[in-house]
Structure 1
Amino acid sequence: MTAPLPPALPALRDQLLDPTGGLVYHLRAARHRRRLWAPFHAAVADWLAGWQPPRAHLAIVGPNAGYALPDGFLARFERVTALEPDPLARWLLRRRPDAARLRFDRLDCLRDADGLARLADRFPDAAILFSNVLGQVSAPAADWATPIARHLAGRPWASYHDAISTAVPPARSTPCSLPDAAALPDVLARFWDGGELPLADHATFGLGGPGPRRYAVWPIAPGRWHLVEWVARPAG
């Protein structure tokens, strides 16, 4: 079921070649999720097990098909609303055993600088989870941290997102937790040995302002690794 959207609000357009998913991603998932991705998915399951927002409604932005969401996660909430542009991902997500309370919404909350304000207004009672999407979609302004601080400060939200990606294999892959004072070089040193590391910066490191963060390495494909950051903030 998809909730109707007022004409004044920007709507998601169906995309099978979306930068956060699409056919290439589904093919990767079919090939790698059971083995190569399994340690990273275990880290996500651990993060989500510890995130217990005091809300009965979850709004989840960019869940794709829910490949990284542990079994039973959606059933923790009385209502779940997903914002997902990939029609194949929506088809797969609604077929999860824990998706009985799931509905879809067409709001495009990542298109422009006012998107997160519209997200907060449309779902005033919801905890919000950004499901590995913010590091894939460029921020409409200078960064994602500013609109999040402005529009989501009064509610519980969480995000796991790509901080950097690289073709250099990590020396270590054990997930870690670090205080808010940790700089990016300190985090990278937990996984990669010293020396210059060629990387792509996804412009999300330190999202959410002061507070602890957690990190894990995701081998998204052979020869490509992402450093994923987890941030969770309570209601203000």
Structure 2
Amino acid sequence: MTASLPPLRNHLLHPSGGLVYHLRALRHRHGLWAGFHHTVAGWLNSWQPRRRQLVLVGPNAGHALPAGFLARFDEVVALEPDPLARGWLARRPDAGRLRFVALDCLAGPEGLALLAAAFPEAAILFSNVLGQVPAPGGSWSDLLRRQLEMLPWASYHDVASTERAPQCTTPITLDGGDDLDATLARFWHGGRLTVNDHETFQLGGQGPFSYVPWQIIPGRWQLVEWTCRDGQPRPEAQA
């Protein structure tokens, strides 16, 4: 079934990473990014998918993955197009069970279904990629609901980006009752806010959802969302 997925092409420049991102990581990972990385570590520590195989989709060099995370799994498969990122990821101390597969599950409308068929025993982690890559038809929420219904998956991803600094940077978890404007207002209080919508708000369509602002560079902020699913079908799908 893996042969049905298109090959993942090597590249050094990409919306979700590449050379610019590596330079930013080297400069900011111990400063501007430290709080965000701490929050991601907490999200991943709480995520216990009860699978021994992990598929990482778009992990880049794993800058945000906490130390020891990969060692939680018997096998880790990474789908990463950046050769520099692959080399960096492979040198992590916890990467002894890591292998790379050149399959592009984000390129076509059936890509996630093919991914699920190729790795039916895996948990899937989308590592800050879905907010950077447009959904190939429909929306990522719809594709995830339909095509990864039976697999545990998790994602942290950009929801919106802006040049205005938030008044609140404390992570919060919401049940999904707020719309995007109300969610943004929990961090940016009053005044005019111009944002770039990454079309990933409330990914998967069912809460809870966790959020934290991330200052990616001076003068640029992202609102990052975390969501996960346990891989159980919806009641209507069981009927």
Question: Aligned partners of 1:126, 1:210: CA distance in 2, in Å?
Answer: 21
**Counterpart of 1:20?**
16
**Cα RMSD, aligned residues only:** 1.1
Q: 1:36 aligns with which of 28, 32, 35?
A: 32
Q: Are positions 1:9 and 2:19 aligned together? A: no
Q: Which residue of 2 aligns with 1:209?
A: 205
Aligned residues of 2:4 and 2:114 also touching (Cα < 8 A) = no
- Kindly state the Cα deviation for residue 6 of structure 1 after the two structures are TM-superposed: 5.7
Runs of 4+ in 1 over 4 A off after TM superposition: 5-8
1:163 aligns with 2:163: no
Aligned to 2:215: 219
Secondary structure in 2 aligned to 1:75? Answer: helix
CA distance in 2, matches of 1:184, 1:233: 21
Conserved in 1, the CA contact under 8 Å of 2:56 and 2:124? yes
* Whole-angstrom CA distance in 1 between matches of 2:186 and 2:97: 39
Shift in Å at residue 137 of structure 1? Answer: 0.3
The one-letter code matched in structure 2 to 1:85 is: P
The one of 62, 71, 83 equivalent to 2:67 is 71
- Pairing partner for 2:189 from 182, 186, 193: 193
Equivalent-residue separation in structure 2 for 1:173 and 1:6 (angstroms): 41
Equivalences for 1:10-159 in 2 at 5 Å? 10-159=6-155
5+ residue gaps, structure 1: none
Give me the whole-angstrom Cα distance separating, in 1, the residues matched to 2:161 and 2:167.
15
**Once the two structures are superposed, what CA deviation does each residue of 1:167-205 show, in whole Å capped at 9, x if it has no partner?**
011111111111121211221111101233101000000
Match of 1:229 in 2: 225
Cα distance in structure 2, aligned partners of 1:186 and 1:51: 26
Q: Distance in 2 between matches of 1:132 and 1:124?
A: 22
Question: What do the CA deviations read for 1:112-168 (whole angstroms, capped 9, x no partner)?
Answer: 101101110111110000000000001111210111101111111000000000001
Secondary structure in 2 matching 1:217: strand
Aligned partners of 1:8, 1:128: CA distance in 2, in Å?
Answer: 19
**C-alpha offsets along residues 5-29 of structure 1, whole Å, 9 cap, x if unaligned?**
9654300100100111000000000
Structure 2 equivalent of residue 177 of structure 1: 173
Query: 2:45 and 2:132 mapped to 1: Cα distance?
Result: 24
| TM-score with structure 2 setting the length | 0.95
Task: Report how many aligned residue pairs link the two structures.
Answer: 232
Q: Secondary structure at the match of 1:191?
A: coil
